[in-house]
Structure 1
Amino acid sequence: MERPNIPAGTHPIEQGHYLLPTKEVLRLMKSISKIVNNRLPGMIVYGKPRLGKTSAVKFAMENLSLMVGAPLPILIANTNWYKVPSEEKFYYDLLQDFRFPFPSKRKPAEMRRQIVNLMLEKAEKSKMRRIVLVMDEAHRLTEFHFNWLMDIYNELDREKISMTVISIGQEELLSRRTFFLEQKKSQIIGRFMTHEHHFMGLRSLDDIRFVLKCYDVPETSSYPKDSDWSYTKYFFPIGYEEGNRLEQEAAHLYQLFVEIRKEHGVSTDFEIPMEYFAFTVETALKMYGAHGDSCRWLTVSQWRECIKLTGYIESEVYMALVHKGAN
């Protein structure tokens, strides 16, 4: 068994650049495909910070064409915060995120036209006359922003192009929708906020087991790509050869999270943000695997140390204090 010769620091685990099809990701993909297949104009995806919403949507977008059965143009933009929002800043930021070759500052109407033309070109090339726009950090979107998006939507609609807007953000997105309901802004809700997806973290032993298995099998994690060297096998080749798998550690990890939460007085519902869970696994593989201490396999005390190093418990305590202060 000859282990691949990969320079230290270049593995996806070491760089933190990888995506896994977790149960929650698959549930989100199903929601998004339903919205897109039915040619619906929009959906909000909301959840607590650090749950991995953006990464999950990115994974879903990369596989969306397979789900709908045809290539589909997708544009992703970040919602930047400004003390005073303006059309010029909003359109300029969109063009920057779309990597428009000449995002020169012009009048807002001209920049909107550039955006519409870019979307028209991409939608027409796909032959589906469809386009998907993903707005990240969408809890920052104001009524002004949604009205500017509506202008783009209407211009595309006149050209018989359908645009679907997926808005990803924190739970404030729901408050924003409630505000629009109270203000009778039905045109905004109807186009962009009628449908919703509550994105959640890991809430059960089964959720944890499912994620850990993704690290074990080359179908969901392999490097070099298309090899049989899963992430687990690469970092613990001897333990893997002896039959050890991260999936088998699920019960230990679940119990450790329960115990650590109890030790620090965290009484909120059990929900582990994917980002902290991924940090835990990455830390274990890097510290104790082939590029670290070269252990044959992981112990419970090592797992506990990895959880503590992620800063998960500090985050939970802080979030509990913020929630308590808000009430």
Structure 2
Amino acid sequence: MSIHIPRPVDPALHPLATGNYRIATPAIEAFYELVVRCLRYRIMGALIFGPSRIGKTRAIEYVRLLLARNFPKMTSYHAQCEHKPRHAEGPFFANLLEAVGDPDPNAGSNPSKRMRLALRIREAAARAGSGTVMLFCDEAQRYNENEYEWLRDVHDALDRQQIKLFTFLVGQQELLSQKTGLQVAGKTQIVARLMVEELSFYGIRNAEDVATCLDGYDRTAWPEGSAWSFTRFYVPQAFDAGYRLVSDADLLWHAFEAAHHKANLPGQLEIPMESFARVVEIVLKESELRDAPGYSPDQALWAYAVHHCGYVQSRHATGRVLVAAA
């Protein structure tokens, strides 16, 4: 017999309904560990590179949330590097000023923008009570040599004011080629400051990775500190009777495998976080109407969700071959 269990908040406000949540993948955990290692050993710059649409932007947001929780006195920023037909100093500094919350990033001359950027970062560091600041530059393969030099200038200006800026360049595989090109050209000062460590970012590669991510839905509570995990919020009767999403890890992996092979996609299966999250959201929202003690999503529902998550369509659209690293 189905029993109605009142939920603690309006379902329309749930992070799964708003999309305002992040679940860790093994690659995101490796990204966070890299950042912490750089902080510990005072390595000022690192590259994080991988195929487009594999979840790097979501990873930055998740890592920043973790940093805010675990290092509350440290300041972090997320700059979205823009595609520009002309690499000019003004737009470069305006972009960074926007990232640090300047109210009028395009105002003033180039020297005044430089000074204002340092001032904004210094003010934020003082408010937070730490001289450590982290800058995540998303789509950083769009930078050219001049922009890396300007970024190095920002480091130097802040260093003179006893503020340590750690820069994480996040982007596509071209980032690695840029590093090699700078090394060949003898631009070691850029490499030594901004590109010391490297991390190859990847999607969800096997059923074990799927289980790690599904476990996040089973364990993450909202409201925080409550007994309402994401899974329990949508299927409380099934959850209270023992159902967990993680038990369907093999079902979900095989559903993606079947879609991958049916569409004749090249390369090994590697699931982008965006596609994965959409599948789980579809399954939980559909299951909400079917919730009962003993309920669990069947294989047909997982296959339906994979079909509607956009994975095959996005792979066809990009023509991209995802090759898992050895």
What's the TM-score, normalizing by structure 1? Answer: 0.90
Name the residue aligned to 2:39: 36
Give the distance between the partners of 1:135 and 1:236, measured in 2 at CA: 39
Name the residue aligned to 1:203: 205
Name the residue aligned to 1:4: 7
In the TM superposition, 1:45-60 aligns within 5 A as: 45-60=48-63
1:26-66 deviation per Cα after TM superposition (whole angstroms, max 9, x unaligned): 22111110001112110111111222222222222222256
Give the distance between the partners of 2:258 and 2:185, measured in 1 at CA: 46
The correspondence for 1:83, drawn from 82, 85, 101, is 85
| Alignment-mate amino acid for residue 105 of structure 1 | A
Give the CA deviation at 1:297: 2.9
Give the CA deviation at 1:67: 4.9
Give the distance between the partners of 1:323 and 1:58, measured in 2 at CA: 25
1:240 pairs with 2:242:
no
After superposition, the CA RMSD in angstroms is 2.1
Give the distance between the partners of 2:283 and 2:190, measured in 1 at CA: 46
Name the residue aligned to 2:223: 224
Give the distance between the partners of 1:258 and 1:323, measured in 2 at CA: 15
In the TM superposition, 1:10-21 aligns within 5 A as: 10-21=13-24
In the TM superposition, 1:146-165 aligns within 5 A as: 146-165=148-167
Deviates more, 1:80-89 or 1:100-109: 100-109
1:8-38 deviation per Cα after TM superposition (whole angstroms, max 9, x unaligned): 4321111111012332222211111000111
Give the CA deviation at 1:301: 0.5
Q: Is the 8 A contact 1:76 1:133 kept in 2?
A: yes
| Alignment-mate amino acid for residue 278 of structure 1 | A
Name the residue aligned to 1:145: 147
Give the CA deviation at 1:322: 5.0
> Using a 3 Å threshold, how does the CA distance of structure 1 residues 97 and 5 change in structure 2: closer, same or farther?
same
Q: Percent identity?
A: 26
| Alignment-mate amino acid for residue 161 of structure 2 | E
Give the distance between the partners of 2:149 and 2:187, measured in 1 at CA: 10
Name the residue aligned to 2:138: 136
Name the residue aligned to 1:310: 309
Name the residue aligned to 1:171: 173
Give the distance between the partners of 1:230 and 1:101, measured in 2 at CA: 38
Name the residue aligned to 2:64: 61
1:100-146 deviation per Cα after TM superposition (whole angstroms, max 9, x unaligned): 13435110000100011122223344454221111111111111211
What's the TM-score, normalizing by structure 2? Answer: 0.90
Give the distance between the partners of 2:266 and 2:43, measured in 1 at CA: 39
Q: Is the 8 A contact 1:137 1:170 kept in 2?
A: yes
Stretches of structure 1 that go unaligned for 5 or more consecutive residues are none
In the TM superposition, 1:252-271 aligns within 5 A as: 252-271=251-270
Give the distance between the partners of 2:137 and 2:119, measured in 1 at CA: 19
Stretches of structure 2 that go unaligned for 5 or more consecutive residues are none
1:126-174 deviation per Cα after TM superposition (whole angstroms, max 9, x unaligned): 4542211111111111112111111111111222322110111122211
Name the residue aligned to 1:289: 287
| Alignment-mate amino acid for residue 47 of structure 1 | G
Count of residues in correspondence between the two structures? 317
